Chains A and B, each alone.
Chain A
Amino acid sequence: MVSLVAIEWEGMDWQGQKLVEQLMQILLVSFAVVAFITGYVLGSFQIMLLVYAGGVVFTALVTIPNWPVYNRHPLSWLDPSEAEKHPKPQITNPSTKKKAAKK
């Protein structure tokens, strides 16, 4: 049981996940707008694609790795020793209870 506690939670905390999703959307849309305007003004489809590709790579670096910024609100689980003091209430099966009552 003690060894289980040592396993670290590898995912992001909830607020980090919310932040990363918003960041991903905002960054991608902004880069798309900038890329389109740049390409249109310079008259080059290729420049639009390159600017956008750069933006996607940048967004990937910002949002895909689990940066420490996204883990500033860790979940505080109940301490195991505290949990053992208050065991889960046992669910009594109503059907067996009925049978017992009949007997």
Chain B
Amino acid sequence: MHSFGYRANALLTLAITILAFMCGIASLSDNFNYPAPTAQVQVLNINWFQKKPDGDDEISLTLNISADLQSLFTWNTKQVFVFLAAEYETPKNALNQISLWDGIIPSKEHAKFLIHTTNKYRFVDQGSNLRGKDFNLTLHWHVMPKTGKMSANKLVMTGYRLPETYR
């Protein structure tokens, strides 16, 4: 502590160490938050349903997605990534997950939304298994905190049964 440089160095080191502790505690404080998000998805229409020339099934849906993810946000949340997946089982794959829509929610104010959309990404099966197939619609989200570990969770919603014939 005898010179200017020594004091400046000591201050910087201690200040940054304490900042790291504060970030750690901020991250731990997220454990006191018990989120209870809600979501509903309606399949409004099947726009078309066909077999592509290469033999894979493809379908186009119109969806109504409403969700309230406000409880995911704490003071330590930077953003939330959310995506809607169609999940089903085929003889070849125990779990097929097809992302139909996704979005980045930048703040709590944007976490309650109602979206009317066709599927943002193509709903193509790996094969020809979609006729008469039951699938679950699952809303997945990844919470990105300002400090700390990312966390992910999901909400399985009521599914949908695809028609038996192409149209």
How close is B60's CB to chain A, nearest CB, in angstroms? 42
Closest B residue to A47 by CB, please name it: B75
A11 vs B2: C-alpha distance when bound (angstroms)? 5
The total of chain A residues at the interface (CB under 8 A) is: 28
B8 → chain A closest CB, angstroms: 5
Q: Beyond A21-B10, A24-B10, is A36–B75 a contact (Cβ under 8 Å)? A: no
Whether the pair A63, B18 counts as a contact (CB closer than 8 A) is: no
Would you call the interface of chain B mostly helix, strand, loop, or mixed? Answer: helix
A40-B29, A56-B15 given as contacts; is B8 within 8 A of A64 (CB)? yes
> A20 contacts which chain B residues (CB < 8 A)?
1, 7
Interface 9-mer from A27-35, A78-86, A87-95: A27-35
**What residues of A have a CB within 8 angstroms of the CB of B157 in the complex?**
none
Task: Contact check, A45 vs B146: say whether CB atoms are below 8 A apart.
Answer: yes
- Known contacts A24-B11, A44-B75, A64-B8; decide if A17 and B1 are in contact (CB<8 Å): yes
A35–B22 touching, CB < 8 Å: yes
Is the C-beta of B76 less than 8 angstroms from some C-beta in chain A?
Answer: yes
Taking the complex as formed, is B19 at the interface, i.e. its CB lies under 8 A from any CB of chain A? yes
- Beyond A43-B74, A64-B4, 17 additional contacts (C-beta under 8 Å) are A11-B2, A12-B2, A17-B2, A18-B1, A24-B10, A28-B15, A28-B18, A32-B22, A35-B22, A36-B22, A40-B26, A44-B75, A45-B26, A52-B22, A56-B15, A63-B11, A65-B4
Decide if A60 is an interface residue (CB 8 Å cutoff).
yes
Number of residues on chain B facing chain A (CB within 8 A) = 21
Contact of A60 with B75 in the complex, beta carbons under 8 Å = no
Is the beta-carbon distance between B4 and A60 smaller than 8 angstroms? Answer: no
In the complex, what distance in Å separates the CA atom of A66 from the CA atom of B1? 10
Chain A residues, CB < 8 A from B115: none
Q: Contact between A32 and B2 (Cβ–Cβ < 8 Å)?
A: no
Interface status of B3 (Cβ within 8 A of chain A): yes
In whole Å, how far is B5's beta carbon from the nearest beta carbon of chain A? 9
Question: Which residue among B22, B25, B74 has the maximum number of chain A CB atoms within 10 Å of its CB?
Answer: B22
Say if the beta carbon of B94 comes within 8 Å of chain A. Answer: no
